[in-house]
């Protein structure tokens, strides 16, 4: 079988010199002017006509948000923020389509499951995905159509777990209304589980709208929520200038990532709001105890690590166990930052891996696969929201780099 590097050789061969990179630069793997899908081809026409959402496919409205790689498949999400989106959860088969600069997306696990009006059990809208050490794909279906001036919470948000060995649904958990009434703030999910204890998984789900951190336990099939002032946005960091657009966003807690195992078996959970340059931490032991969520005073359970520095607002971040480095998708800098967790958390110890204000416009997701590669999605979202995308130019890109090379030459060595 061909290696992933060989499969992507054609896509990477068009790589050009980039604007700013202290470490080895991120490599552009795929790019699109507009997304397209195999799902709307002739082979799917009858199915599409029978179960499609009202209205036809509207190519311009399809904006990718999340990217996750697992063993030759690249999962790409397209949240339903506009009408005309055929499938919210998709993948790229790298063996079949890795040669293409702008590959078509394939619905996952199939087109039928992505048609929300055909069944109450089908997918509505997914922002980001996560793969755990047990080979399972996790994500939250927000249950919400976020069409402009017509937002509709058409069903309860739900947590999905799929076995990637056979693409079968293992679990679908509906989040009670007492926990989440509006699903649009459930934009990411982080899984805490050991390879030999797959049934004892915990999912940490930031809620950027309600400023809460939800915790789901797979074995007990229960969910609880934490509230803390650290989950709020920073009013001194909510002014953004990205892709030529100036605006204010008040997104609260956005991303959580797990650090290394400590001698006692616990792990730190690092988190931050998107509209903030601060980083915070809490022990997973705190989050995993449901009774802690009911406390009105959390004492010193939650800690401020410090600030990453000016213009370091971040969507997603991810810890890499091989290097001990956390990598950040930085929207203001249009790039990727880093922090070596063995060093004090400070502005001086926050490094810049790569920055490209003309091409990596709004890095919306950053994940690290089991092979030690960073994957980044950039989607020009502020231009789509506040202006208009130029469909004659490339608007969406997926980037890749080894964590070992990404940190090289930075303060994260």
Per the document, the length of the chain is 413
pLDDT (0 to 100) of residue 89: 98
Phi-psi region of 199 (alpha: psi -120 to 50; beta: other; left: phi over 0): alpha
Mean pLDDT of the chain: 92
Q: What are phi and psi of 206, to 5 degrees?
A: -65, 145
pLDDT (0 to 100) of residue 40: 81
8 Å CB contact between 206 and 276: no
- In which residue ranges of the chain is pLDDT below 50? 1-2, 6-7, 9-21, 41-54
pLDDT (0 to 100) of residue 25: 86
What is the rounded distance in angstroms from the CA atom of residue 157 to the CA atom of residue 181? Answer: 8
pLDDT (0 to 100) of residue 12: 42
- Per-residue pLDDT tens over the stretch 300-335: 999 999 999 999 999 999 999 999 999 999 999 999
Q: Spell out the SS3 assignment of the chain.
A: CCCHHHHCHHHHCCCCCCCECCCCCCEEEEEECCCCEHHHCHHHHHHHHHHCCCCCCCHHHCCCCCEEEECCEEEEECCCCCCCCCCCEEEEEHHHHCCCCCCCEEECCCCHHHCCCCCCCCCCCEEEEEECCCCEEEEEECCEEEECCEEEECCCCEEEEEECCCCEEEEEEECCCCCCCCHHHCCCCEEECCCCCHHHCEEEEEECCCCEEEEEECCCCEEEEEECHHHCCCCCCCEEEECCEEEECCCCEEEEEEEEECCCCCEEEEEEECCCCEEEEEEHHHHCCHHHHCCCCCCCCEEEEEECCCCCCEEEEEEECCCCEEEEEECCCCEEEEEECCCCCCCCCEEEEEECCCCCCCEEEEEECCCCEEEEEECCHHHHHHCCCCCCCCCEEEEEEEHHHHCCCCCCC
pLDDT (0 to 100) of residue 22: 53
Q: What domains are defined for the chain?
A: 27-39+58-407 (2.120.10.30)
């Amino acid at each position: 079988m061909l290696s992933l590097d060989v499969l992507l050789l054609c896509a990477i061969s068009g790589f050009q010199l980039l604007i700013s990179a202290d470490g080895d630069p991120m490599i552009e793997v795929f790019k699109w002017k507009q997304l397209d899908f195999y799902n709307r081809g002739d082979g799917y026409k009858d199915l599409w006509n029978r179960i499609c959402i009202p209205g036809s496919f509207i190519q311009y409205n399809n904006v990718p948000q999340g990217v996750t790689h697992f063993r030759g498949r690249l999962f790409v999400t397209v949240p339903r923020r506009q009408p005309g989106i055929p499938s919210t959860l998709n993948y790229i088969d790298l063996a079949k389509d890795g040669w293409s600069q702008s590959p078509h997306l394939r619905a996952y696990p199939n087109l039928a499951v992505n048609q929300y009006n055909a069944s109450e059990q089908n997918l509505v809208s997914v922002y980001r995905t996560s793969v755990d050490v047990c080979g399972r794909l996790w994500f939250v279906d927000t249950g919400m159509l976020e069409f402009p001036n017509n937002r509709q919470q058409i069903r309860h948000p739900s947590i999905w777990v799929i076995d990637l060995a056979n693409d079968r649904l293992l679990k679908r958990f509906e989040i009670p209304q007492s926990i989440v009434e509006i699903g649009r703030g459930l934009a990411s999910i982080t899984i805490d589980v050991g390879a030999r204890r797959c049934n004892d998984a915990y999912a940490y789900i930031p809620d950027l709208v309600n400023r809460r951190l939800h915790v789901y336990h797979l074995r007990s099939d229960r969910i609880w929520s934490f509230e803390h002032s650290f989950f709020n946005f920073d009013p001194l960091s909510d002014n953004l200038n990205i892709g030529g657009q100036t605006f204010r966003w008040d997104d609260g807690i956005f991303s959580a990532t797990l650090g290394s195992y400590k001698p006692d078996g616990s792990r730190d959970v690092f988190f931050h709001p998107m509209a903030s340059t601060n980083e915070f931490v809490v022990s997973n032991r705190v989050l995993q105890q449901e009774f802690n969520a009911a406390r009105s005073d959390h004492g010193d359970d939650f800690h401020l690590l410090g600030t990453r520095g000016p213009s370091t607002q971040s969507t997603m971040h991810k810890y890499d166990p091989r290097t001990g480095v956390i990598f950040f998708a930085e929207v203001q800098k249009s790039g990727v930052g880093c922090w070596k967790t063995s060093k004090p958390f400070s502005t001086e110890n926050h490094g810049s891996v790569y920055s490209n204000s003309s091409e990596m416009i709004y890095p919306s997701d950053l994940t690290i696969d089991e092979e030690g590669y960073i994957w980044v999605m950039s989607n020009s979202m502020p231009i789509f929201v506040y202006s208009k995308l130029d469909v004659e130019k490339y608007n969406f890109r997926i980037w890749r780099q080894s964590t070992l090379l990404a940190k090289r030459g930075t303060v994260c060595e």
